[in-house]
């Protein structure tokens, strides 16, 4: 796989600062980001009890934020081509948040990498625009927020694009400084 290095401007902000007094409510924080993220944003949350996919429709997060439980939530990312809103639990149980936005801030280079996701059998969900993806005898299942049409045995059509931002250290070595999710897409078997 060939990587293409591209340039952009990017801003990164992390909340709370190390001296912050008020803890972050991760579900409330995600709700507050929906307007900034826009109607093309997707949600990927990891909790103790599973993976939760969602999307923003008419400035509302689906699944409803109430379905995300602070008690079991480990991390959640609201993302699109332009930005990622990321909230995570640290080892002490406290939540932190980070926003990465392209097109503003300092200049940097990046490359995109597609990750293959589970699912070689697609079944249209009852929910608007979601597809139930299953894979293997273990019964692995997740409901992705796109319509999938190209799944078939031995072919996993889902790709999660991850953007890796590069920095150069004082010795001239280039490293991945931070990464974010960009998009979820279906690819053909060709």
Coil, helix or strand for 18? coil
The pLDDT assigned to 17 comes to: 44
pLDDT for position 1? 58
Q: Evaluate the CA torsion angle 94, 115, 103, 2 in order and state its sign.
A: positive
Q: What is the pLDDT of residue 14?
A: 60
- What pLDDT shows up at residue 18? 42
C-alpha torsion angle, residues 130, 134, 150, 47 (rounded to 10): 50
> Of 161, 124, 119, 114, which Cα lies nearest the Cα of 146?
124
Joined tokens for residue 80: 């699109």
Backbone dihedral angles phi then psi of residue 40, each to the nearest 5 degrees: -100, 5
pLDDT for 34: 93
The DSSP element (H or E) to which 35 belongs, if any, is helix 26-37
Low-confidence ranges of the chain (pLDDT < 50): 17-21
182, 112 in Cβ contact below 8 A? Answer: yes
3-class secondary-structure state, position 28: helix
């Amino acid at each position: 796989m060939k990587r293409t290095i591209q340039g952009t401007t990017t801003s990164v902000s992390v909340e709370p600062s190390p001296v912050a007094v008020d803890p972050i409510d991760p579900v409330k924080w995600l709700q507050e980001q929906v307007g900034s993220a826009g109607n093309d944003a997707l949600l990927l949350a990891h909790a103790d009890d599973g993976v939760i996919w969602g999307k923003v429709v008419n400035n509302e997060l689906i699944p409803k934020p109430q379905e995300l439980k602070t008690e079991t939530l480990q991390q959640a990312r609201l993302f699109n081509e332009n930005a990622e809103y990321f909230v995570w639990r640290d080892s002490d149980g406290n939540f932190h948040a980070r926003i990465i936005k392209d097109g503003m801030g300092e200049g940097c280079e990046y490359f995109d990498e597609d990750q293959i996701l589970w699912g070689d059998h697609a079944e249209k969900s009852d929910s608007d625009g979601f597809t139930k993806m299953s894979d293997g005898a273990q019964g692995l299942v997740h409901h992705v927020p796109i319509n999938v049409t190209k799944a078939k045995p031995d072919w996993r059509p889902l790709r999660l694009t991850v953007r890796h931002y590069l920095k150069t250290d004082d010795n001239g070595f280039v490293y991945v400084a931070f990464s974010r999710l960009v998009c979820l897409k279906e690819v053909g078997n060709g």
